[in-house]
Amino acid sequence: MNKQLKVLFIGTYVPKECGIATFTSDLLNSVSGENNDVHCEVIALSDPSETYNYPEEVVFQIQKEKLEDYYLAADYINQSDADIVCLQHEFGLYGGNAGDYIFALLSGINKPVITTMHTVIREPELEYRVSTEKLIRYSEKLVVMSQTAVDMLKDVYKAPEDKIEIIFHGVPDYPFNNCSKYKKMLNLKGSPLVLTFGLLSKNKGIESVLEALPDVVNQYPDLIYLVLGATHPMVKKTQGEAYRQYLKNKVSELGLENNVVFHDKFVEKEELCNYILASDIYVSPYLSREQIVSGALTYAMGMGKAIVSTPYWYAQEMLSDNRGLLIDFGDTDGFKKSLSYLIENPEECDNMRKKAYDFGRKMTWKNVGKKYNTVFGKALMNYNTYPGIQNRFYFLPIQLPEVKLDHLKLLTDDVGIIQHTNLGVPARRYGYSTDDIGRALVALTKLIDNPQKVEEFRKIITTYMSFLEHAQTDTGHFHNFMSYQREFLDEKGSEDTLGRAIYGLGHVISCSYLSRNIRTLAHTLVSKSGPEMENLDSPRAKAYAMCGLYEILRAGIDIDEFESVFNSCRDVVKPIDTLVDRDYFESIFISHADSLVDLYEANHKEDWNWFEPTVTYSNAKLSESLLLAYNYTKNRTYREIGLATLDFLTEIQWNCDFFDTVGNQGWYSYNGEKPLFDQQPIEAGYLTQAYISAYEIVREEKYLELAKYSFEYFLGRNRLRTVMYDYSTGAVCDGLNSDGMNCNQGAEPVICFLMALSSLNEHTNKAFSTILQSRVSDGISDEALEKRKSLLSVKAE
């Protein structure tokens, strides 16, 4: 390779006392030591209770049960210069159901993944089958350590054969020698010295060996059986030392106190190797057949030990051709006979040792490192052969989805919109809200682009207007929440509620396709709200109100066209002396714009271009309102701050792959950490609207591109790679949580989706109108015109 290969390992890592941690460390050293052109780093798995002084190659840590860490690790990998990821996989290593948290990481990275599978299950329960099949899909190559594992991957999981590579578990490279040197070094006795080592747990089957020993030690009283290793940390956490104490009790019962020694400690690799080299016989009495690899057995073979083992899958394959003795699980008599045979037949024992040692030369870490580097090279070649492989959004539609109001209509009854659902079914106990009604009027009026649409939307818009008329208080404010029993639950809603009502009413007033009666009623409600609008403090309430007032101002509406209707029905509308004029609306509009400027000047810093010390909710609406203020007044301060804050929202949320919007688990404060969840679709909808407004005002192409990407958030371009939009009904899921998508489909997400979609459609229609106007002068045919129109549709890249 012409440049240094950079490999990022994922797994547990030393100094954690764990077999896979040791394996990962040895593999890293073998890969980098075999070739100076390879640079290795590690993402280490830890538990919350653990604190380790990791070596410098550990560049990132994941807390096993913290899903958010897996997403953050994916971001780290994508931003790193790593060429390839080498994942160590065992189900218990990762959090979630059958270790499925790891897929939050694997689904989000754009690097080839080589997975070393330390466990393969022949008869998996459903969750383990699903997890294994997903692992196969996400991996460029699968490394297993035995032919048995290869056969299971192909037969049970239908893994493609060209994805699978056999690379044996590595072993240190020691010369073949006798044991006396190392016994003396460690001050060990035993003739013979029988060894079992590894983290202690019930599946080790050590009691089977103990029960076999009395008859053997009667004949060979100098025999020592050394059980080396600490209790497995997870076993110790849940069961304490119950298994070790059980074994010690059995030793006492059998009268073996002088022949059995427990070394209760986790030994580092060099010391472990010395113990193995000092032993005469290694015993591997596992109780489970489904053991696809054993580092302990591999080490014993590589150092030329005589081996007695139960016939778990790995042992059956490794000890074939007389490289060891196999006896049945729990066969006490078999252990007794096998140990006696090896002691009584030293020549046969020595031949067995040599065969194991010779086979072990294939498994030295030097050879393992070479083979992994070869697999890395093949994986990179295959991965780079397909330029589109990193595009995870190929499934996005070529054109915008069609407008579907099925779900909105499902939520709408003769009162208003039911706020929430239970898995898509309207949940009546939550009642209705003015917040939803105001925004729904924005979405619907923006969708009315010709007179034919009016009849389609007339009933639903009339229902929503009826709700707002009923919700307005005597002071001009609005109640927000109404129960399903049609009782208002508050004296008045929040300031945001008032702003959202004005937002919707402004769009009704400016929609020339609607009847004059409906528009007059809307003007009446807004006029009555004037004093309340003047006294708003909430920045978002001001922004909402400005967006509604902008619609009235830009349309150049003269109250003369409404006064005749208003005067004719003054006796039936809520008391109001007169409709307010344009100048009054304009004064409120500019006053609010100026106050947002003041807020920005008070809070922004060199690296924090925002109105407040914290980025919270409905954020893009603040930026958009100032852009609209610029478009109306041409005050460049509004433009500069509107663009600066919108660009800031882009900077903190767009990662060049998808929008990672600020979650509401604590919000995002200056010098704080941005929460990843719970992400609300309203943020993506408002971003889309703001980007479209920015593009139409300043004509910078980047805003049109960003509008595409923010809208695609609904369609799967998000952190969870999950489609939130239901193409069949028009429903939208409520949000993205740390444990997956919130499958409820309430009013707010579908309304915000429709607002975003209507903004994009409106932009496309404007662009098409421009083409249409130049049709005659350009001589464009009908066929060419349709092609040009289709090109204006928002597409996935």
> pLDDT per residue over 176-223, tens digit each?
887 888 998 899 988 999 999 988 888 889 999 999 999 999 999 999
Q: Are 547 and 628 in contact (CB under 8 A)?
A: yes
Alpha helices in 198-294, H assignment, sequence order: 206-219, 233-239, 242-253, 269-278
Structure tokens at 285: 């009495």
> pLDDT per residue over 470-524, tens digit each?
999 999 999 999 999 999 999 999 999 999 999 999 999 999 899 988 998 999 9
Return the beta strands (E) in 543-619 as ranges: 614-615
pLDDT of 577 reads 58
C-alpha of 495 from chain center: 35
> pLDDT per residue over 638-676, tens digit each?
999 999 999 999 999 998 888 999 988 889 999 888 888
Which region among 293-297, 399-403, 458-462, 778-782 has the lowest average model confidence (pLDDT)? 778-782
> pLDDT per residue over 62-100, tens digit each?
999 888 889 889 889 988 999 999 999 999 999 999 999
Distance CA 410, CA 391 (A): 36
The helix or strand, by DSSP H or E, that contains position 358, with its residue range, turns out to be helix 346-360
Structure tokens at 276: 């193995």
The helix or strand, by DSSP H or E, that contains position 29, with its residue range, turns out to be helix 19-34
Is residue 543 pLDDT above 90, yes or no?
yes
> pLDDT per residue over 744-772, tens digit each?
999 999 999 999 999 998 887 665 455 44
Give 565's pLDDT tier (boundaries 50, 70, 90). Answer: low
CA–CA distances in Å: residue 60 to residues 12, 30, 42, 66: 12, 21, 7, 14
The pLDDT of 38-66, averaged and rounded, is: 92
Q: Is 62 helix (H, G, I), strand (E, B) or coil?
A: strand
Q: Are 747 and 416 in contact (CB under 8 A)?
A: no
Q: Are 721 and 663 in contact (CB under 8 A)?
A: no
125 CB burial (10 A radius; 0-12, 13-18, 19+): exposed
Please list, residue by residue across 386-402, b when 16 or more beta carbons sit within 10 angstroms of its beta carbon and e when fewer do: eeeeeebeeebeeebee
Percentage of the chain beyond pLDDT 70 is 90
The pLDDT of 29-34, averaged and rounded, is: 83
The pLDDT of 444-466, averaged and rounded, is: 90
Angle between helices 582-603 and 636-653 (to 10 degrees): 50
Average pLDDT value over all residues in the chain: 88
Give 775's pLDDT tier (boundaries 50, 70, 90). Answer: very low
Top pLDDT among 247 and 769 is at: 247
Is residue 256 pLDDT above 50, yes or no?
yes
pLDDT of 693 reads 96
Structure tokens at 697: 């005002």
pLDDT of 573 reads 54
Give 796's pLDDT tier (boundaries 50, 70, 90). Answer: very low
pLDDT of 559 reads 64
Please list, residue by residue across 493-532, b when 16 or more beta carbons sit within 10 angstroms of its beta carbon and e when fewer do: bbbbbbbbbbbbbbbbbbbeebeeebbbbbbbbbbbbbeb
Q: Which domains are assigned to the chain? A: 5-170+368-390 (3.40.50.2000), 180-362 (3.40.50.2000), 406-599+616-653+676-791 (1.50.10.10)
Distance CA 276, CA 195 (A): 7
pLDDT of 192 reads 93
> pLDDT per residue over 295-336, tens digit each?
899 999 999 999 999 999 999 999 999 999 999 998 999 999
Is residue 710 pLDDT above 80, yes or no?
yes
Is residue 175 pLDDT above 80, yes or no?
yes
What contacts 399, CB < 8 A, 6 or more positions away? 790, 793, 794, 795
> pLDDT per residue over 399-418, tens digit each?
678 889 999 999 999 999 99
Give residue for tokens 């997870």: 234
Give 141's pLDDT tier (boundaries 50, 70, 90). Answer: very high
pLDDT of 286 reads 94
Is residue 785 pLDDT above 60, yes or no?
no
Q: Which of 63, 67, 75, 94 is nearest to 737 (CA)?
A: 67
> pLDDT per residue over 217-244, tens digit each?
999 999 999 999 988 877 888 888 999 9
Q: In terms of DSSP bridges, do strands 740-742 and 735-737 run parallel, antiparallel, or are they unpaired?
A: antiparallel
